[in-house]
């Protein structure tokens, strides 16, 4: 994963690799600084079995840190900047990391951790640890060139842990490299190309697509904190041609400007690619109108499997609601509960196999075995259907399925319908406890600005499109839906809060 920076430091040393605000790094500087950091962490005793943890928001240093660890042969453990100190205690202990690179603005999220480690390196220094710049300056600018094999660990990314303790997903150099090369072919990354790092860099897809910019000889503009207005301004000023977003980003852009292409010069933009959660069809229609002439891709993937499918621009609206066909190097199968293949239009659990798969869950052979079949396919529990043309649509997370009176109900179908109502900005449909039927359907709605949730009107709207047994029995209003770093709605949080408060229906 370090070879891209090495290559372009030789061939294009003075070309800018990364920009954040008024700071920038050339390829030569990123190469030099990552050499120094690599030497420094090796001197602290880090190695293949002693990872380095990183707790930081989006910033320029993320790219040299990941390059440095690859040069040193040291796995990286990216920590979610929203994690509390207890979360990070668990992950650092479980991963075996003994050194932490820290953004001091997040020091409270590591308060119980800092004194237990062999070393803490902090941007700006202070009470939180050794000053990052001083630490680099004290090291030799020599590439350690650690021997790294295809199957060696590049990073250990922890899942969000919404249903228990987070699991450490072991990702290899080969898997991450192939994802980057595939993205270059598909989404227009490469030498001299401009991209942006918008999604969190501690998140698998956010890092993979952000780092692919300089890794493949292009330039990345880092947005340190998500702001839709600033994003559009940066998109214009950086002349970005391709950028990865999650549906929440599109939703928030729409809230501030209905026609961004009229308000900003986005003539350089060629490609938008979306992942993390399904783009509601109504929102996707807006994206096409808002960014005319831009190729819109919709992807499906997971931390464990990397990118699995892609719906390409030529089919974007013809197959709206689908995530396309299996992506480069992927094989996909849809199986029923007895592990038999399902036919077209029949829901089945999605299993994927490719060279980009995880190596396994760290120190968790039981979870690895549960997610892997005898042929090396992996599942994360998503249910999908394939149509007669082989286009795959994600029906829902298996764990999000509602079972009411013994009937299986997939919330996404209902959410798509509710989301089309004029008063609705966002919606999550979940199962809540019911003494008679086990579960009943409840809809949690975020209304559009100035709108009111009218349950009777919404019921009539829903009944026009789905069977009566799929009608929500309860309607609730929320200011915002809880989401993880990747933009996925945390339905378990909604359910837990419901059970804790037992609110009455509207």
Decide if 1 is inside a domain.
no
User: Rounded to whole angstroms, how far apart are CA atoms 120 and 102?
Assistant: 7
Q: Among the three residues 353, 382, 398, which one is the final residue of a domain in this structure?
A: 398
User: Rounded to whole angstroms, how far apart are CA atoms 264 and 221?
Assistant: 17
Q: Are residues 298 and 378 in the same domain?
A: yes
Q: What is the pLDDT of residue 160?
A: 67
- For the ranges 38-52, 56-70, 129-143, 445-459, which has the lowest average pLDDT? 445-459
User: Rounded to whole angstroms, how far apart are CA atoms 260 and 503?
Assistant: 39
Query: Per-residue pLDDT for 325 more than 90?
Result: yes
Query: Per-residue pLDDT for 386 more than 60?
Result: yes
C-alpha closest to that of 319 among 250, 396, 393, 385: 393
Q: What is the pLDDT of residue 392?
A: 97
Decide if 222 is inside a domain.
no
- For 405-471, strand residue ranges (E) read 407-409, 424-434, 438-447
Mean pLDDT for the stretch of residues 491-504: 83
Q: Among the three residues 157, 174, 191, which one is the final residue of a domain in this structure?
A: 174
Q: Are residues 278 and 382 in the same domain?
A: yes
Decide if 3 is inside a domain.
no
**202-240 residue pLDDT tens:** 988 999 999 999 999 999 999 999 999 999 999 999 999
Q: 164: pLDDT confidence band, cut at 50, 70 and 90?
A: low
Mean pLDDT for the stretch of residues 76-104: 94
The domain total for the chain is 3
**Is the Cβ–Cβ distance between 392 and 324 less than 8 Å?**
yes
Integer angstrom CA distances of residue 323 from 111, 251, 312: 41, 19, 9
Q: Are residues 245 and 371 in the same domain?
A: yes
Q: Are residues 427 and 462 in the same domain?
A: yes
User: Rounded to whole angstroms, how far apart are CA atoms 290 and 269?
Assistant: 12
User: Rounded to whole angstroms, how far apart are CA atoms 7 and 217?
Assistant: 8
Decide if 218 is inside a domain.
no
Q: Among the three residues 398, 428, 444, which one is the final residue of a domain in this structure?
A: 398
Q: Are residues 296 and 331 in the same domain?
A: yes
Q: Are residues 152 and 274 in the same domain?
A: no
**Is the Cβ–Cβ distance between 47 and 192 less than 8 Å?**
no
**CATH number for the domain harbouring residue 253:** 3.40.50.12780
Burial class (CB in 10 A: 0-12, 13-18, 19+), 250: buried
User: Rounded to whole angstroms, how far apart are CA atoms 413 and 55?
Assistant: 37
Mean pLDDT for the stretch of residues 334-352: 96
Q: 410: pLDDT confidence band, cut at 50, 70 and 90?
A: confident
Mean pLDDT for the stretch of residues 168-181: 98
C-alpha closest to that of 64 among 17, 21, 97: 17
Burial class (CB in 10 A: 0-12, 13-18, 19+), 174: middle
Query: Per-residue pLDDT for 241 more than 60?
Result: yes
Decide if 187 is inside a domain.
no
Q: Are residues 428 and 440 in the same domain?
A: yes
Q: Mean pLDDT across the chain, nearest whole number?
A: 93
User: Side-chain half-sphere of 439: how many Cα atoms within 13 Å?
Assistant: 23
Q: What is the pLDDT of residue 35?
A: 98
- Residue 92: strand, helix, or coil: helix
Q: Are residues 132 and 46 in the same domain?
A: yes
Mean pLDDT for the stretch of residues 186-211: 96
C-alpha closest to that of 18 among 201, 264, 253: 201
Q: 432: pLDDT confidence band, cut at 50, 70 and 90?
A: very high
Q: Are residues 296 and 336 in the same domain?
A: yes
Q: What residues make up the domain containing 34?
A: 10-18+25-174
Q: Are residues 389 and 279 in the same domain?
A: yes
Decide if 181 is inside a domain.
no
Q: What is the pLDDT of residue 248?
A: 86
Q: 412: pLDDT confidence band, cut at 50, 70 and 90?
A: confident
User: Rounded to whole angstroms, how far apart are CA atoms 301 and 487?
Assistant: 13
Decide if 194 is inside a domain.
no
Pairing of strands 424-434, 407-409: unpaired
Q: Are residues 370 and 247 in the same domain?
A: yes
Q: 409: pLDDT confidence band, cut at 50, 70 and 90?
A: confident
Decide if 454 is inside a domain.
yes
Rounded-to-5 percentages of helix, strand, coil across the chain: 35, 25, 40
Q: Are residues 276 and 374 in the same domain?
A: yes
Q: What is the pLDDT of residue 505?
A: 45
**CATH number for the domain harbouring residue 496:** 3.30.300.30
Q: What is the pLDDT of residue 156?
A: 98
Query: Per-residue pLDDT for 187 more than 90?
Result: yes
In percent, how much of the chain has pLDDT > 90? 80
């Amino acid at each position: 994963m370090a070879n891209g920076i090495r290559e372009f430091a030789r061939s294009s040393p003075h070309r800018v690799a990364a920009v954040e605000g008024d700071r920038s790094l050339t390829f030569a500087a990123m190469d030099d600084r990552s050499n120094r950091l690599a030497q420094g962490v090796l001197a602290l005793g880090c190695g293949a079995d002693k990872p380095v943890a990183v707790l930081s928001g989006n910033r320029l240093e993320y790219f040299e840190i990941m390059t440095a660890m690859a040069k040193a042969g040291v796995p990286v453990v990216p920590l979610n900047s929203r994690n509390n100190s207890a979360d990070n205690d668990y992950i650092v202990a479980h991963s075996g990391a003994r050194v932490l690179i820290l953004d001091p603005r997040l020091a409270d999220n590591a308060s119980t951790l800092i004194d237990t480690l062999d070393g803490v390196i902090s941007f700006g220094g202070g009470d939180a640890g050794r000053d990052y710049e001083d630490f680099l300056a004290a090291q030799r600018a020599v590439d350690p060139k650690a021997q790294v094999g295809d199957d060696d660990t590049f990073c250990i990314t922890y899942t969000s842990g919404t249903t228990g303790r987070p699991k450490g997903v072991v990702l290899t150099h080969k898997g991450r490299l192939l994802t980057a090369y595939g993205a270059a072919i598909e989404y227009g990354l490469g030498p001299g190309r401009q991209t942006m790092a918008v999604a969190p860099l501690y998140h698998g897809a956010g890092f993979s697509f952000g780092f692919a910019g300089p890794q493949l000889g292009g330039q990345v503009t880092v947005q340190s904190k998500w702001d839709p207005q600033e994003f559009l301004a940066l998109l214009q000023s950086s002349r970005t041609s391709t950028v990865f977003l999650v549906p929440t980003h599109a939703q928030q852009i729409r809230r501030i400007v209905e026609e961004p292409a009229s308000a900003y010069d986005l003539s350089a933009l060629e490609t938008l690619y979306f992942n993390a959660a399904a783009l509601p069809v109504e929102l996707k229609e807006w994206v096409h109108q808002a960014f005319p002439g831009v190729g819109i891709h919709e992807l499906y993937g997971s931390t464990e499997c990397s990118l699995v499918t892609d719906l390409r621009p030529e089919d974007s609206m013809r197959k709206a609601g689908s995530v396309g066909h299996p992506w480069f190097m992927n094989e996909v199968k849809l199986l029923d509960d007895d592990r038999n293949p399902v036919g077209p239009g029949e829901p089945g659990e999605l299993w994927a196999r490719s060279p980009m798969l995880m190596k396994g869950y760290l120190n968790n052979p039981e979870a690895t075995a549960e997610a892997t079949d005898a042929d090396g396919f992996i599942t994360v529990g998503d249910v999908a259907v394939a149509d007669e043309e082989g286009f795959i649509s994600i029906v829902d997370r298996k764990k999000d399925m509602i079972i009411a009176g013994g009937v299986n109900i997939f919330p996404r179908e209902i959410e798509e319908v509710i989301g089309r109502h004029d008063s609705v900005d966002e919606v999550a449909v979940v199962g809540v406890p019911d003494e008679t039927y086990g579960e009943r359907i409840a809809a949690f709605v975020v209304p559009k600005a100035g709108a009111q949730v009218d349950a009777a009107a919404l019921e009539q709207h829903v009944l026009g499109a789905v069977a009566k047994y799929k009608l929500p029995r309860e309607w609730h209003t929320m200011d915002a839906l809880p989401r993880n770093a990747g933009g996925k709605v945390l339905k378990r949080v909604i359910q837990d809060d419901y059970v804790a408060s037992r609110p009455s229906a509207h």
